[in-house]
C-alpha cells in the first residue's frame, strides 16, 4: 500500500493540475521499482489479439476455529475453596416478572427476600409497555454451523499490504454486553437495572433484544467456528444478586447461567473476558430518585449513592470468586465517564475499582489481568500549529481519560480539566493515591473515531467557570471536519465512527506515553451507513466495515513495531446487532 500510494499520487495530482486543458495522456518512460510485483516491470507494450475465454472463478476459502488448547489454565482458586474470604449469603431461586403480574402477586410478604418482595422491585421500577415476549423461553441447543456459512468473503481488492505480523500473544476477540444482547430482563430471577428504567421511555427497549440469554450456545458456537480467540461478555449484577446489596441472597439460576456461558466458551476453544458492570447498574441505587440530572456524561446510573461502594465491592468479590478460576481478563467498569454523572459517582468508581483490584490480586490471589475501559473519541487539534488548539485537544482528552487514568494508572490526582469544570470534586490526598495508584494491568479504551477540537469563543477557562455555558462541561468546540474543509474520514451513521486511520497511531502513542500502561483496544467498530435499508445479502458484503478494521489494524501494527507502543490486543464491537 505504501508503495502504490507513492506512485499513484503524483499521477492523480497531475491529472487534477491539467483538468480543463485538453486531452490528458500520461506517458512514462522506463520503470520504477515495485517490490510487490512478482513479474518484472516491462518497458514496452505489446498490443495483440488472443482467443477470449471466461476465466474468473471463485475460490472457496473457509473460516476455521482455533485449535482446542491441550492444557487447562487456571487463574484463581475454585469458588468452593473461597468461602472463608466471602461474606455468607444464602442461595435461592425466584420466578419471572410477567406482564399480568399485578393479579398474580405472591403472598409470601413476610419474607423480605421472597417472591412478593422480588416482584415489588419490578413494580417500583414502573417500566412502560413491559413485554417478555421473544422467540425463546428456554436455552436453545446449538445447531452445527453449516459449512456454507463459513465461506470467507472474497479478498478485499483494496486491502492493505502490511509489513508486520502481530506479536505472539496479541489478543483478538469480539464483545457483547448483558444489557444490550441478553433480553429476558425480568425472567429467572433477574431484577430491574437502570437500563429498563431509562430506556422504557423509548419505543426501543432492552426487554427482548437478541435473546442471547437463551441463544448463547448457538452464538458462541458460531463465534468459535470463525476462529475468534476471546469472547468478551458482561455480567448482569441483577441476575446474580436480585436484591443487590451485601448479605442478600444469590440467584442460583443467574449463577448457573454464567457458569454455563463460561464453560461453553472454554469448551469451544475460546477464552472468556468478563466485565462486571456495563451501563446496567441496579435500579436499587436510584429507587428514591430517578432523576437523570447529571454534571457530565449521558445518564445518571446511581453510582453516586452512598451505599454503592460497599455493594459493588461485595458483588465484585462474589463474581470474581464464582468464575475467577476460568477467567484470564477482567474489566471492572465499562465507560464510567458516561454514567458516573457527578463527582461523587466518579470518586466511587475509582475507589471501587482500586479496592477490587487489591482484593483480587492480594486476597483471592488471582493471576489474571484486571483493568478498566473508557470511552474516548480521540481529540485532535483543528490547527495543530496553534498552541491554543493543541491545548483544547489536551483538555478534551484529559476530561474523558484522566479522571480515571491519573489516579489508577499514575497515582496522581484528577486533571485540571475535571477539577475546574465539575462541581464538588474532592481531590485525592497522598494516602488515597498510594492505595489507588497502579491498580490496573492495562489502559482499556473504546475509540470509535477521532474528533476535531478547537477552543470556544471566549476561551476554555471562562466556559469551565460557567455551568450555564452552552459548551459546558467539555468547553471545547467539536467537529468532524478538518482545517482543509474535508471530513476527517469516511463516516458511518451520524458522527459515531469514521474510517480515519491516520489519527490512530498518534492516539496509541499518546495513551502509552501519558498513562504508562499497556493499551488495550476493548471496543472498536463501524456501523455502516443505512445498513438496515439494504437486503441481508447486500449487508453481508460490508466493505466499509472491512476497511475500518483493516486500516485500524494496520496502524496498530505500525504503532507496535515502529513506535514501540505496547498494545495488548483488540476486541471488536459488537458480535451481534444490539438493541440500540
Ligand X SMILES: *[C@@H]1O[C@H](CO)[C@@H](O)[C@H](O)[C@H]1NC(C)=O
Kindly list the residues in this chain that would bind ligand X in the complex (CB under 6 A): 77, 82, 85, 107, 128-129, 201, 203, 245, 284-289, 295, 305, 307, 342, 344, 364-365, 383, 385-386, 388-389, 423-424, 438, 454-455, 466, 468-470, 483
Least distance to ligand X from the beta carbon of 482, Å?
Answer: 8
For ligand X, the closer of residues 345 and 447 by Cβ is: 345
Round to whole Å and give the CA distance between 191 and 238.
5
With beta carbons less than 8 A apart as the criterion, state whether 311 and 489 touch: no
Least gap, CB of 543 to ligand X (angstroms): 30
Please state the closest distance from residue 29 (CB atom) to ligand X, in A. Answer: 32
Q: Write phi, then psi, for 559 (nearest 5 degrees).
A: -60, -45
Q: Closest distance between ligand X and the C-beta of residue 364, in Å?
A: 6
Using the minimum distance from each CB to ligand X, give the nearer residue, 140 or 410. Answer: 410
With residue 13 as reference, give the H or E element that holds it.
Answer: helix 2-18
For ligand X, the closer of residues 74 and 201 by Cβ is 201
Residue 160, classed as helix, strand or coil, is coil
In terms of CB distance, is 219 or 325 closer to ligand X? Answer: 325
State in angstroms the smallest separation of the CB of 227 from ligand X.
Answer: 32
Q: Assign 3-class secondary structure to 505-570.
A: HHHHHHHHHHHCCCEEECCCCCCCCCHHHCCHHHHHCCHHHHHHHHHHHHHHHHHHHHHCCCEEEE
Q: Are 381 and 390 in contact (CB under 8 A)?
A: yes
Cβ of residue 268: shortest distance to ligand X, in angstroms? 29
How far is residue 188's CA from residue 334's CA, in Å, rounded to a whole number?
25
CB of 236 to ligand X, least distance (A): 18
Q: What span, in angstroms and rounded, lies between the C-alpha atoms of 458 and 472?
A: 13
| In the complex, minimum distance from the CB of residue 291 to ligand X, in angstroms, rounded to a whole number | 9
Question: What grid cell was written down for 213?
Answer: 440469554
Query: Which is closer to ligand X, CB of 82 or CB of 519?
Result: 82
Query: Which whole-number Å values give the CA distances from 152 to 60, 156, 258, 532, in the listed order?
Result: 7, 11, 31, 22
244 or 402: CB nearest ligand X? 244
Are 269 and 68 in contact, with CB atoms under 8 Å apart?
yes
CB of 54 to ligand X, least distance (A): 50
Cα distance between residue 436 and residue 319, in whole Å: 21
Is the CB of 22 or the CB of 385 nearer to ligand X? 385
Per DSSP bridges, beta strands 171-175 and 451-454 are: unpaired
Classify each residue of 538-560 as buried b or exposed e, where b means 16 or more C-beta atoms within 10 Å of its C-beta: eeeebebbbbbbbbbbbbbbbbb
Q: Can you tell me whether residue 212 is helix, strand or coil?
A: helix
In the complex, what is the shortest distance from the CB of residue 574 to ligand X, in angstroms, rounded to a whole number?
24
Whole-angstrom Cα distance, residue 476 to residue 14? 39
In the chain, count H helices and then E strands.
16, 15
Closest contact distance (angstroms) between CB of 305 and ligand X is 4
Closer to ligand X at the Cβ: 43 or 385? 385
Between 222 and 353, whose beta carbon lies closer to ligand X? 353
In the block, cell 477521532 appears at 450
- For the record, the C-alpha cell of 218 comes out as 448457538
Residue 405 or 455 having the CB closest to ligand X: 455
- Report the candidate in 275, 280, 135, 114 with the shortest Cα–Cα distance to residue 214: 135
Residue 393 CA to residue 511 CA, distance in Å, equals: 14
Query: At closest approach, how far in Å is the CB of 470 from ligand X?
Result: 6
Minimum CB separation from ligand X for residue 279, in Å?
Answer: 18
Rounded to a whole number of angstroms, the minimum distance from the CB of residue 12 to ligand X is: 20
Name the residue whose CB lies closest to ligand X. 307
Task: Tell me whether residue 33 or residue 288 sits nearer to ligand X (CB atom).
Answer: 288
Question: Which cell numbers in the block locate residue 383?
Answer: 490547527
142 vs 482 by CB, closer to ligand X: 482
- Crossing angle for the helix pair 343-358 and 387-405, nearest 10 degrees? 50
Identify the burial level of 562 via C-beta atoms within 10 angstroms of its C-beta, where 0-12 means exposed, 13-18 middle and 19 or more buried.
exposed
Q: Considering beta carbons, is residue 161 or 310 the nearer one to ligand X?
A: 310
349: Cβ–Cβ under 8 A, 6 or more apart, which residues? Answer: 303, 333, 336, 340, 404
Treating both helix axes as pointing N-terminal to C-terminal, what angle do 504-515 and 543-563 enclose, rounded to 10 degrees? 50
Q: Which residue lies nearer to ligand X by CB, 268 or 342?
A: 342
Amino acid at each position: 500500500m505504501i508503495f502504490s500510494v507513492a506512485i499513484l499520487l503524483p499521477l492523480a495530482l497531475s491529472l487534477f493540475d491539467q483538468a480543463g486543458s485538453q486531452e490528458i495522456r500520461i506517458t512514462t518512460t522506463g520503470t520504477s521499482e515495485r517490490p510487490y510485483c512478482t513479474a518484472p516491470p516491462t518497458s514496452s507494450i505489446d498490443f495483440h489479439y488472443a482467443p477470449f475465454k471466461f476465466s474468473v472463478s471463485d475460490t472457496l476459502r473457509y473460516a476455521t476455529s482455533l485449535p482446542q488448547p491441550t492444557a487447562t489454565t487456571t487463574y484463581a482458586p475454585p469458588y468452593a475453596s473461597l468461602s472463608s474470604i466471602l461474606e455468607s449469603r444464602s442461595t435461592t431461586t425466584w420466578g419471572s416478572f410477567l406482564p399480568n403480574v399485578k393479579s398474580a402477586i405472591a403472598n409470601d410478604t413476610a419474607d423480605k427476600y421472597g417472591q412478593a418482595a422480588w416482584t415489588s422491585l419490578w413494580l417500583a421500577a414502573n417500566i412502560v409497555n413491559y413485554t417478555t415476549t421473544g422467540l425463546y423461553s428456554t436455552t436453545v441447543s446449538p445447531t452445527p454451523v453449516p459449512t456454507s456459512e463459513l465461506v470467507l468473503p472474497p479478498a478485499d481488492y483494496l486491502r492493505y499490504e502490511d509489513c508486520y505480523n502481530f506479536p505472539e500473544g496479541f489478543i483478538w476477540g469480539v464483545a457483547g454486553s448483558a444489557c444490550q444482547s441478553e433480553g429476558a430482563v425480568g425472567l429467572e430471577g433477574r431484577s430491574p437495572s437502570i437500563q429498563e428504567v431509562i430506556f422504557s421511555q423509548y419505543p426501543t427497549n432492552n426487554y427482548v433484544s437478541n435473546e442471547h440469554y437463551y441463544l448463547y450456545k448457538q452464538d458462541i458456537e458460531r463465534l468459535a467456528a470463525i476462529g475468534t480467540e476471546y469472547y468478551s461478555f458482561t455480567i448482569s449484577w441483577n441476575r446474580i444478586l436480585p436484591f443487590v446489596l451485601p448479605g442478600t441472597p444469590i440467584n442460583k439460576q443467574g449463577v448457573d447461567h454464567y457458569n454455563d456461558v463460561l464453560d461453553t466458551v472454554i469448551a469451544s476453544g475460546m477464552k472468556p473476558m468478563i466485565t462486571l458492570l456495563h451501563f446496567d447498574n441496579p435500579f436499587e441505587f436510584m429507587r428514591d430518585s430517578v432523576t437523570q440530572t447529571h454534571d457530565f456524561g449521558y445518564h445518571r446510573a446511581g453510582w453516586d449513592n452512598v451505599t454503592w461502594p460497599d455493594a459493588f465491592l461485595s458483588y465484585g468479590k462474589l463474581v470474581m470468586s464464582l468464575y475467577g478460576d476460568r477467567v484470564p481478563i477482567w474489566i471492572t467498569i465499562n465507560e464510567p465517564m458516561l454514567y458516573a454523572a457527578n463527582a461523587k459517582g466518579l470518586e466511587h468508581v475509582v475507589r471501587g475499582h482500586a479496592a477490587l483490584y487489591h482484593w483480587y490480586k492480594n486476597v483471592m490471589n488471582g493471576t489474571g489481568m484486571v483493568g478498566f475501559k473508557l470511552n474516548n473519541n480521540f481529540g485532535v487539534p483543528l490547527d495543530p500549529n496553534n498552541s491554543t488548539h493543541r491545548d483544547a485537544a489536551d483538555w478534551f482528552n484529559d476530561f474523558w481519560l484522566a479522571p480515571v487514568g491519573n489516579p489508577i494508572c499514575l497515582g496522581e490526582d484528577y486533571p485540571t480539566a475535571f477539577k475546574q469544570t465539575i462541581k464538588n470534586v474532592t481531590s485525592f490526598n497522598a494516602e488515597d493515591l498510594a492505595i489507588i495508584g497502579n491498580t490496573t494491568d492495562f489502559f482499556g479504551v473504546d475509540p470509535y473515531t477521532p474528533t476535531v477540537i478547537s477552543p470556544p469563543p471566549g476561551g476554555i477557562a471562562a466556559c469551565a467557570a460557567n455551568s450555564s455555558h452552552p459548551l459546558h462541561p467539555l468547553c471545547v468546540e467539536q467537529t468532524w471536519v478538518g482545517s482543509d474543509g474535508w471530513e476527517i474520514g469516511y463516516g458511518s451513521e451520524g458522527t459515531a465512527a469514521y474510517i480515519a486511520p491516520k489519527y490512530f497511531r498518534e492516539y496509541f502513542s499518546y495513551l502509552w506515553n501519558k498513562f504508562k500502561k499497556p493499551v488495550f483496544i476493548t471496543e472498536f467498530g463501524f456501523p455502516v451507513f443505512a445498513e438496515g435499508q439494504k437486503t441481508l445479502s447486500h449487508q453481508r458484503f460490508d466493505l466499509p466495515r472491512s476497511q475500518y478494521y483493516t486500516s485500524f489494524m494496520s496502524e496498530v501494527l505500525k504503532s507496535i513495531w515502529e513506535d514501540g507502543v505496547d498494545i495488548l490486543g483488540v476486541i471488536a464491537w459488537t458480535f451481534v446487532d444490539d438493541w440500540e
